[in-house]
Amino acid sequence: MFSQDSKLAVLESKLSIYEDLSREMLSKLEAAVDKISEGNSRIATILAKHDERIEQSIKTDELLIRMIDEIKKDNEIEHNEMAERFNKIEENIDNLLKFRWQVGGVLAVLVIVVTIASSWLPTVLTSRPSQTTIERAK
């Protein structure tokens, strides 16, 4: 039926068709692999930037926490200083109140002493009138 040459020619043509298909598939696979590689490199770049941002965010957070702790310490120191000042002021006010009561007491005693002295002192300081009699000369 068919001769060997014709069978060979058919086989060669089929083989050439398969080779062409294989080359096309291979080029498509290479293109797909290239696109996947580009995507992977882009993702790697994005991840690297993302990691940098996370690290910067962590550093910023740590810095903020340190700053907040410092502000807390400063605020606590200032609070203690203000509390001491208020305590001193309260102590001074208490001392002034005590002094006011002491002055009031001294003044009350002086008023009593002056009152007593004003009624008693004139009798002590003045001499009693001597009784003198005047006689007429004759």
- Answer whether residue 120 shows pLDDT above 80: no
| pLDDT tens column, 72-84 | 999 999 999 999 9
Q: Is residue 123 part of a domain?
A: no
Q: Is residue 84 part of a domain?
A: yes
| pLDDT tens column, 68-111 | 999 999 999 999 999 999 999 999 999 999 999 999 999 999 99
9-13 average pLDDT score: 84
Q: Is residue 103 part of a domain?
A: no
> CA dist 38 to 47, 53, 83, Å?
14, 22, 66
* Band (119; pLDDT cuts 50, 70, 90): confident
What's the domain range around 66? 1-96
- Dihedrals phi, psi of 23, to nearest 5 degrees: -65, -45
3-state secondary structure of 87: helix
Question: How many domains would you assign to the chain?
Answer: 1
Mean pLDDT score across all residues of the chain: 89
- Tokens standing for 93? 């006010």
